[in-house]
Amino acid sequence: MKFIILAVLLAMFIAFVVMVVKAAKQWRWYHITSAVIAMLLAIVLLFPTAGVLKSRQAWHKIKEDLEKRLANVEDENRQLQFGDGGGATGAEGLKSLSLKLSNLGTEAGRRWRSLAFGGADPSGQIILRANTAPVVPGQPAPEADAAAGPLVPVGLVVYGFAEGKFRDLEQPVPMVYLGEFKVIASQPNVVTIAPTFPLERNQLDAINSGRATSWSLYEMLPLDGHEPFIAEGSKADEDNILGRVDDELVKMILRANREESNKETIANYLRDGQRGSPEDPAARWIKVRFDKKYTIDVDSPEQRGALEGGFFDNNGRAVDSSLQRADGGSITFAVGDELVVKEEAAKLLIDQEKVASLVDTYYLRPLNDYRYVLRRIRLQISELDIRIAEMQYEKQVLDAAIAATLGMLEKGQEEKLKLEQDLAQHQVENVALKEYFDQVREDLRQMKEATSVLYRDNFVKLRQIQQLAAAAMLTDT
């Protein structure tokens, strides 16, 4: 390409020389001088112009590349902010995740993460320290803010968790529940807490064994939910209204590989969101489709904080201002809208108010209210402890009774042995007495026989005497 341009320039120069020579007869000297100067300037300025064009072309290419990169960055930023929405595998946007995180934060209240365990005193008080920024060698340590307030408000009741590593997460997360505590003292970087109830054995083991080196304190107990157990990227469908349950996560958290694990509870978590059956009426939820326009009040006229009795009133309406709507506290459903409600509410909409029709039935795992669950478990453990104490006392009584019975049995054995010895001696004596009795009876019989013989002899002799006496009397007369 360069040679072609040079050839064209050379041809133009030759043509210019020829035309100047041809016109020299009619032109004056200043015409020729001006033409030559113009030609020389054109040749000289051609190279800077070419450089400028080349530079412009390069910068134009850079501009186009930057515009493409800007478009890509804007598209990536849009996807990061709002998600790509690309079907079942579409990623969720930052705004949606921030909203979910905000909702989780609202449910959990204030929280203090990554507190280092500083030891416990004999009275049960526990010292926790906030992690401070590391000091750069060679630079002075940052001065403490004298106006800084306490790390945790004094008198606040908090819930403690031991932090640990979880799969695919770099940030430690709460892993073990350590109990309910009350803040006794608090400084900008140190907080002292004491348990409001005696800690359970597993909680004491976790603290004393060194597994609870990093703590999290929560103002409120986290709420139970369905979404944390749904597999990432899973979408709801007709067979599972929540999406596919993450089997590995459920089995890992509930420790399905252990013999003491509750198989029924694990099965309930794995079935969460699936189509219902007549075997689970207590947890059946109904998907209804509205046939008429319908309005439901979802906000309570009463307003209070979640710490004063929960997020909802007895009718299920929101009382926490963070959950209440700004458009009057009611929701209106149009014809064709679908909603999943409990079986009792579905019967009210379908049978009584006749504003909706049944679409399908699903099983939803009953959620746990950990505030009452933990208290109920604590009461059950307390009752079991009392029952264990009673059983131990009864065992002691039974042990004493058994010991007394064994003593009586041993004494009875001794008496039995003596009685057996007496019985053997009695039997020997009885045999001897029987032999003696037989001998005496035999002697008596023989004596009776001898006496009888003597009696007969004496009787005969008496008769003889009588006869002799009678004969003698007759002779005398």
User: 3-class DSSP state for residue 143?
Assistant: coil
User: 3-class DSSP state for residue 31?
Assistant: helix
User: 3-class DSSP state for residue 167?
Assistant: coil
Confidence class of residue 49 from pLDDT cuts 50, 70 and 90?
Answer: confident
Q: Is 252 left (phi over 0), alpha (psi -120 to 50) or beta?
A: alpha
- Is residue 220 within 8 A of residue 307, CB to CB? The reply is yes
The rounded mean pLDDT for the chain is 83
Q: Where are the beta strands (DSSP E) in 270-329?
A: 284-290, 294-297
Structure tokens at 189: 């970087």
Rounded (10°) CA dihedral 73, 77, 83, 85 = -40
- Average pLDDT score over residue span 107-116: 84
Confidence class of residue 134 from pLDDT cuts 50, 70 and 90?
Answer: very low
DSSP-assigned letter for residue 130: E
Least confident of 222-236, 267-281, 424-438, 454-468: 267-281
Strand partners, 162: 176, 215
pTM of the model: 0.60
**What is the phi/psi pair of residue 117, to 5°?**
-70, 120
Structure tokens at 466: 């009588």
Does residue 71 or residue 378 have the better pLDDT? 71
H or E segment at 330? strand 330-333
* Distance separating alpha carbons of residues 353 and 292, to the nearest angstrom: 10
* Distance separating alpha carbons of residues 336 and 161, to the nearest angstrom: 45
- Is residue 165 within 8 A of residue 158, CB to CB? The reply is no
* Distance separating alpha carbons of residues 215 and 224, to the nearest angstrom: 21
H or E segment at 385? helix 370-476
* Distance separating alpha carbons of residues 254 and 326, to the nearest angstrom: 40
Looking up tokens 């059983």, which residue turns up? 391
Q: For position 282, what pLDDT does the model report?
A: 65
DSSP-assigned letter for residue 352: I
Q: Is residue 136 predicted with pLDDT exceeding 50?
A: no
Q: For position 1, what pLDDT does the model report?
A: 63
Q: Is residue 245 predicted with pLDDT exceeding 50?
A: yes
Confidence class of residue 377 from pLDDT cuts 50, 70 and 90?
Answer: confident
Length of the chain: 477
* Distance separating alpha carbons of residues 325 and 205, to the nearest angstrom: 45
Least confident of 2-16, 220-234, 238-252: 2-16
H or E segment at 185? strand 173-186
- Average pLDDT score over residue span 45-55: 83
| Furthest-apart CA atoms within the chain: distance in Å | 253
- Is residue 250 within 8 A of residue 265, CB to CB? The reply is no
- Is residue 283 within 8 A of residue 292, CB to CB? The reply is no
The 10s digit of each residue's pLDDT in 93-107 is 788 888 877 777 777
Q: Is residue 133 predicted with pLDDT exceeding 80?
A: no
Least confident of 143-157, 196-210, 335-349: 143-157
Looking up tokens 């198989």, which residue turns up? 263
The pairing of beta strand 126-130 with beta strand 190-195: antiparallel
What percentage of the chain exceeds 70 in pLDDT? 90
Q: For position 28, what pLDDT does the model report?
A: 80
Rg (CA), the chain: 56
Count the Cβ atoms, other than its own, within 10 Å of residue 16: 16
| Residues 6+ positions from 332 with CB-CB distance below 8 Å | 293, 294, 295
Count the Cβ atoms, other than its own, within 10 Å of residue 365: 20
Apex 131 CA angle, 126 and 137, nearest 5: 135
